[in-house]
Amino acid sequence: MSVFDFSTLQPDLILDALTHCGLDVSSGLLALNSYENRVYQFSAYVADGLRPEKYVVKFYRPQRWTEQQLLEEHSFAFELAAADIPVVAPFVINGQSLQQYMGYYFALFPSRGGRTLEVDNDEQLAMLGRFLGRLHLVGNAKKFIHRPAFTIESQLLQSQQVLNALPYIPSYIRPAFDVVLEQVIALCIAQYQPKRMIRLHGDCHAGNLFYVDQGPFFVDLDDCRSGPAIQDLWMMLSGDRQQQRDTLELMLEEYEQYYEFDPAELRLIEPLRAMRMVHYMAWLARRWQDPAFPMNFPWFATDKYWEQQCLVLKEQLFFLQQAPLSLVPDY
C-alpha cells in the first residue's frame, strides 16, 4: 500500500472495520472534510444501547506516521483530557486506542459539534489564550520520543528538494522562484534558533478550532509535534503590526496565567510563517498522486499559481528582513 493509496478504503471495508470494533452501524457514512486522512461520521448502537450514538472514525493516511507516532499522538490527547483540557481523545476499545484493519490504522472518536472560532472575538481569543497556556503546561511536562519537530530540515530543506524536482513550475518563473526560495531559506536558517521545544498542537489555526459556550476545543492532534510555543500562537495573528500586537497581548494575558511566554520567541514568527508556506507547497506536490488533490486543488498545476507563489515568497523575504514583532509599541 503506497502513501497515496486509499483506493481499497471502500464503504464495505469501513463498515467491516467498525463491526470489528463491536459497533452496530445504524446510518450511512458521512464524509467529513479532510484531505490528509479519510474521516467519516456515522451513528451506531453499542452493546445494550437503547439509541444510536454519533461517532467519527478517522482512517490515517498509510505510511504517513508510524504506529509509535500515532500512539504518541493518542497518549498526548489522553494526558490533555486528564488535565481537563478540551480536546477530543479517541475511544479505547479492547484496551487499544489505535485500531488496525486490512492494513489501515484508524481510530474512533465521539462526534463533537461546535461553531467556528471567531478570530476577531476578544472573548473567544482570551479563552483560547488560557486553553493554549494549559495545553503548553502539559506539553512541557514530557517530551515526544517518536513525533517529529519543527526544524529547518523537515519544513524547508526537504520541501525545497521536492520543489526543485517539481515539473509544474513554469520555466519562465523557475529562476526567480529558486533564487527567492534560497534567500528565504538562508534567512530562516539564521533566524530560527528556538531555545525551548515543547509538545504542541502544531497546526493551531481557526479551521482546526471549534467553539462552544464553555470555550474552544480541538477535535484531534493529527499534526502534533515538538516546537517553540509561539507556533501555536502566531496563526491567530492577522492585520498590521499593531493589530497583531493587540491580539497577542490579549491572548498572552490569559496564557501566562498557566505558562510563561518567552518574548524572544517573537523573532521566530516570520521564519515559522515562511516554513509553513514552503512546506504547504511541497505537501501539495507530495500528495498530487492522490486523486483527491487534483480534484480539490486544480490551480496547483497552473502558471498563475506559481506566479503568485513567487510573489508571496518575495513578500515573505521582505518581512524576514524587518525587525521582529515586539510587545513594545513602535514609535
Q: Choose among 98, 101, 81, 18: nearest CA to 52.
A: 18
Tell how strand 99-101 and strand 30-31 pair up: unpaired
Determine the 3-state secondary structure of 87 from DSSP. Answer: strand
User: What is the rounded average pLDDT of the residues 226-255?
Assistant: 95
Q: What is the pLDDT of residue 129?
A: 94
Quickly state the pLDDT bin for 213 (edges 50, 70, 90). Answer: confident
Q: Which of 161-175, 179-193, 285-299, 317-331 has the lowest mean pLDDT?
A: 317-331
Determine the 3-state secondary structure of 204 from DSSP. Answer: coil
Asked if the model's pLDDT at residue 50 lies above 60, the reply is no
Cell of 170: 513554469
Considering only residues 43 and 120, tell me which one the structure prediction assigns the higher pLDDT: 43
User: What is the rounded average pLDDT of the residues 84-94?
Assistant: 91
Q: What is the pLDDT of residue 117?
A: 75
Quickly state the pLDDT bin for 328 (edges 50, 70, 90). Answer: confident
Asked if the model's pLDDT at residue 48 lies above 60, the reply is no
d(CA 255, CA 133): 4
Q: What is the pLDDT of residue 4?
A: 58
Mean pLDDT of the chain: 92
pTM: 0.92
User: What is the rounded average pLDDT of the residues 205-232?
Assistant: 85
Quickly state the pLDDT bin for 77 (edges 50, 70, 90). Answer: very high
User: What is the rounded average pLDDT of the residues 2-24?
Assistant: 86
Q: What is the pLDDT of residue 330?
A: 63
Quickly state the pLDDT bin for 112 (edges 50, 70, 90). Answer: confident
Contacts of 181 (CB under 8 A, 6+ apart): 160, 163, 278, 313
In this structure, the chain runs to a length of: 331
Q: What is the pLDDT of residue 3?
A: 54
Residue 125 near residue 76 (C-beta atoms within 8 A): no
Active site residues: 203, 220
Q: What is the pLDDT of residue 207?
A: 77
Quickly state the pLDDT bin for 49 (edges 50, 70, 90). Answer: low
Considering only residues 117 and 29, tell me which one the structure prediction assigns the higher pLDDT: 29
